Structure 1
């Protein structure tokens, strides 16, 4: 794909090299096109942070961008009781480091200060979560500003709500409820969940799910569910790079490309990078079982799916997997998959 570099062509005030000596906040103030953004930064208590050493790269919505929001939205966000929500939105517009336009166009996304990922595309111009980049490379003493024409909004629903809204995880959510993990996955985190679909559970032998949902099997159910969760917010390219990770259950999972398919152990990844307020969901087409514990011969071999266990198929993973490595930026070359059946959590598209 041909790289596109957006140049400063719009009359957004004086965006010149004179801004180099001013920090991000002062540059925005001096420009005059970011009055609403500056007011929001002040209300969120982020002035000192954005005047700090950094460096930061800010995707800055203009006053016109804020004006596109539904009537009353800005006024509501500026209320003291909504400060946390305002902070989450503003930090979703900021990525660590000084990232010029010629680097932005090589990326498919980046992890923000908020913790969630923004998507970057270069089809018909450069867009960040659907917002068009209309000016770039505004140099500041502690970073850089790129100007966007819409406010971008992070995911606000927790993992259970995102899963429920997707409509593909009724069995998983029933299992989470039976295991008493709904509140944990709804309030704590961040977590990365490898979520089996209803179709994945339907592959299991008759009676398997019903048996796991019984009170006497609660511990086993908890272990199975925790084996689908790792600590932290880990996106697909990070997972594929790291190859292995330790789950909350304590066992290890292996992630890789096998025959052109991305897999977790032997379950295929069919959708990835579904953001939630407290984590990220990747979708898999089979249910996984934890590695066999010593003295529990009734459990299947290490790293197999339930389906593979009952059909006596092998599927071992290497024990003692290393944790995922964290990378801030996501390049086009390593992002293999896209969400396929989820309603976008973005706004303004």
Structure 2
């Protein structure tokens, strides 16, 4: 993660721009660092400065692609995570975390928008011994899927630089293994009811702890289906005395990835954090069968959303434990 850092930004880059005479134009573009500064991507500048990139600012021999989030994108990430704004978030996060997030925005080769193809693109963020990838789609402009199953759109493409190209995007890309389970859930709008339920049950600190945990995470649609079946309102659900037990019934101790699930006997019975209650897991159909015989099975719709302290698998129904 060192070579690409030489191309990124520090707050002193404005002074470097003046000293080098770069103008960032298409005829005589500056480095990626200078171009980003000229584009007033101040939150990206601050994050790169905090990550310790001042001495590695301009690698003239590099040929990189940088997906550069706007200031509004950084502010949106910050407020969703509970910070006042992007400045407060950059001040709070450590340099290593910021460096990992930034590395996830960089491809190790120059790719114009026309040269990007749909599929997985390896980034310069190394995770578990391999480059973490972005899910590129080009059918309707260029969009990028990240670890929290959300997408960023390229809003300004092909900003030329001497040592690569910059594509401005409307969202900060979230890499695997950097944020905790609660933060990852907050960053996917499909989990808004789950996030509210975790907060109402007072489980935020537990699920943000060391872990590791495996969370079978119901979507908002799953909670809507539950409310329809039970006749409860969302407010009644969040105030229900059994809410914490229901949520703990969706959590397994350990980091259980999709490959681990497929390797289990069929069916398998997995202990949850709700003492005395296990889940029946059928790995041939990727479904979970809970204790409520009147509830539909929950299908595992997406797997391996990897957090710093565990993993999320997305499910289509809320699981209901048997009464004690």
Q: TM-score, normalised by structure 1?
A: 0.45
Q: TM-score, normalised by structure 2?
A: 0.48
